[in-house]
Amino acid sequence: MENKIMTISSEMAGGRLDKIISTYCALSRSRVKELIDQNKIHVNGKQEKGSYTCKVNDRVVIEIPDDQPLDVQPEKMDLDIIYEDHDVLVINKPKGLVVHPAPGHMDHTLVNGLMDHCDDLSGINGILRPGIVHRIDKDTSGLLVVAKNDQAHMALSQQLTDKTCHREYVAIVHHPFDHSYGTINAPIGRDPKDRQKMAVTEKNSKPAITHFQVIENFKDYAYIRCQLETGRTHQIRVHMAYIGHPIAGDPKYGYRKTISANGQLLHACALEFIHPTTQKRMHFEAPLDPTFERILNALELGKSI
């Protein structure tokens, strides 16, 4: 257990407690929230919320538990690494691969493969998700960035918060469009009727914004490009279903009668971020997943699928 003690200066005063701790203690905002929820952070001897406005001379005590050993085993895996250096990895994740372990699913995940590939992943997201800055769903293919140290993780996470990290997806959705682009601005939270799903809802939700552009219309489907302004769980899948254009093949949010593709036809095609050390803007693109490409080609040729 490590105890950190801070005294709020005049420069810090007026800021949010969680943001100040994150900045000055090099902890992610999600980690700070965990510590607050676990009653590990106190201001002047009292527990405060993350939104607490700090005042001059506030005494902040942060208890940081010792790191727990990672109960996940390295696993030899043929990873499609697009780029790698001392700070980051960019990976083209195949369709069907789970990103991180969870109770009952502790092996055959991307994290298992990463642990075999290198032993210097960041631990900032907890013991089950080393290095994972953002995730994509099991049956979504494409690009994601992995942090190899805590400093890189903090910098990349901040870019997601500041919306300076850009992520683009392509998808095949049901029904052609009568317009060429649009923006969906609708909050997403847990579906009150089904806790296994997300939904557009005003209750216990967070803002969510998805921009989309129609690349090509077909008789019963459309091929679109999406850009995320926020990163909520299942965001594109929920938003497209919300406007009546669910992603083809999506077993959770789509139609029962859909394209057989072993999951949603959604691919993270482009990723752009500022390198945490060099400060250079980096851009990556990934080719379509084979299943996605086969179905798209069939649609373009007017074949039945």
Q: Which sequence positions are flagged as catalytic?
A: 137
Partners of 188 in beta bridges: 200, 206
Contact 57, 256 (CB under 8 A): no
Residue 296, Ramachandran bin (φ over 0: left; ψ between -120 and 50: alpha; else beta): alpha
Inter-axis angle of helices 17-25 and 29-37, nearest 10: 120
DSSP readout, 145-198? EEESSHHHHHHHHHHHHHT-SEEEEEEEEES--SSSEEEEE--EEEETTEEEEE
Q: Is the dihedral of CA 229, 234, 236, 239 positive or negative?
A: negative
Q: Return the H-helix or E-strand segment holding 17.
A: helix 17-25
Contact 132, 111 (CB under 8 A): yes
Partners of 95 in beta bridges: none
User: Rg of the chain's alpha carbons, rounded to an integer?
Assistant: 21
Question: Residue 258 and residue 83: Cα distance in Å, rounded?
Answer: 35
Output the CA torsion 13→19→20→24 (10° steps).
-160
